[in-house]
């Protein structure tokens, strides 16, 4: 069987700000397969990310399977809530964590890629970002603003990135996003409109597969990953309990690792997956296949929504 080979390919992974989540694991898997990797990082977290890299605090995580060190080709500021600087409120423009970063919007990202590498110059796009400001609130208590922000950052940004970056892709390109089972099943505690955002992301995956496939020859897929206790996921507030619940009830009783998602992403981005598009790929130890729980005490009294 041929190995995954992404030599000569350039990837942009949008949504990397530390070494603890799926975005970083995907970046490392792509680099391990030979791709050059650029990342987009949220401006408020970007300074800390750059300092961790510069001070060697992430050296162990940056080691590839052959013993070499992964290097990011570029680190770009990216706040995918904004399509262009015209959309950015003045208070954000003047915020000290933003104002020295230049154009941190999706339009600015495209301009920087074109300036640095020309066009076409991109082969792989990974949408590994989400935000729901009211994620800890039940849906019934979620404000219109919180709901729409969750949809905008977690789902529409993928549409916007593809629309903007599509013309930069070379033949055989691939776009990938990350979703979660709450898109299709009720997960008490996963609130703030995030379940709706993931459902929109999956629906968009099918439509974008058709539209981007016909327009640019791009494949568009999404990975539905099991719960993983990354720093970002910890904001949900009950991810540790969900990890234990999945381990108790999945066909494969093993702990999910970020590399499980990273390796799947590398496969989907490779020529080995040339006929796969418009698809939700489950990487959750088989939990999605279950119709009944074997053990549920972890969540018994902690995720009930008050009437």
Catalytic residues: 180, 190
Q: Which residue has the tokens 């750059």?
A: 50
At 44 the three-state DSSP class reads: helix
- What per-residue string of b and e applies to 95-106 under the rule 16 or more CB within 10 Å gives b? eeebeebebbbb
Strands 169-179 and 219-225: parallel
Asked if 232 and 21 count as a contact pair (C-beta separation under 8 A), the reply is yes
Asked if 135 and 191 count as a contact pair (C-beta separation under 8 A), the reply is yes
The CA distances from residue 112 to 17, 59, 107, 172, in Å, are: 19, 27, 9, 22
Among residues 264, 266, 260, the alpha carbon closest in space to that of 228 is found at 260
Q: CB atoms < 10 A from the CB of 60, how many?
A: 8
How many residues does the structure list for the chain? Answer: 307
Asked if 4 and 270 count as a contact pair (C-beta separation under 8 A), the reply is yes
Among residues 15, 23, 19, 13, the alpha carbon closest in space to that of 42 is found at 15
What are the residue ranges of helices labelled H in 59-143? Answer: 90-93, 106-117
């Amino acid at each position: 069987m041929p190995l995954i080979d992404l030599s000569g390919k350039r990837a942009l992974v949008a949504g990397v700000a530390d070494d603890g989540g799926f975005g970083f694991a995907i970046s490392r898997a792509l680099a391990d397969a030979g791709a050059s990797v650029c990342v987009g990082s949220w401006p408020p977290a970007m300074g800390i990310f750059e300092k961790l890299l510069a001070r060697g605090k992430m050296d162990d995580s940056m080691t590839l399977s052959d013993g070499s060190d992964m290097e990011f080709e570029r680190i770009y500021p990216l706040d995918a809530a904004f399509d262009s600087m015209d959309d950015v409120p003045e208070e954000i423009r003047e915020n000290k964590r933003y104002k020295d970063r230049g154009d941190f919007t999706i339009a600015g990202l495209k301009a920087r890629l074109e300036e640095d590498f020309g066009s076409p110059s991109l082969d792989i796009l990974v949408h590994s970002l989400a935000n729901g400001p009211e994620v800890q609130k039940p849906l019934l208590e979620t404000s219109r603003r919180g709901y729409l922000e969750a949809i905008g950052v977690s789902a529409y940004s993928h549409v916007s990135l593809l629309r903007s970056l599509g013309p930069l892709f070379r033949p055989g390109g691939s776009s990938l996003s990350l979703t979660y089972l709450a898109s299709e099943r009720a997960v008490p505690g996963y609130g703030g409109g995030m379940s709706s955002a993931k459902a929109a992301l999956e629906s968009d995956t099918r439509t974008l597969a058709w539209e981007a496939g016909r327009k640019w020859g791009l494949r568009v897929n999404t990975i539905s990953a099991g719960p993983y206790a990354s720093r970002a996921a910890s904001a949900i507030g009950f991810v540790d309990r969900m990890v234990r619940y999945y381990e108790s009830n999945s066909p494969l009783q093993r702990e999910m690792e970020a590399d499980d998602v990273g390796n799947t992403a590398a496969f989907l981005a490779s020529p080995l997956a040339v006929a796969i598009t418009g698809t939700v790929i489950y990487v959750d130890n088989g939990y999605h296949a279950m119709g009944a729980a074997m053990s549920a005490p972890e969540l018994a009294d902690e995720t009930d929504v008050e009437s």
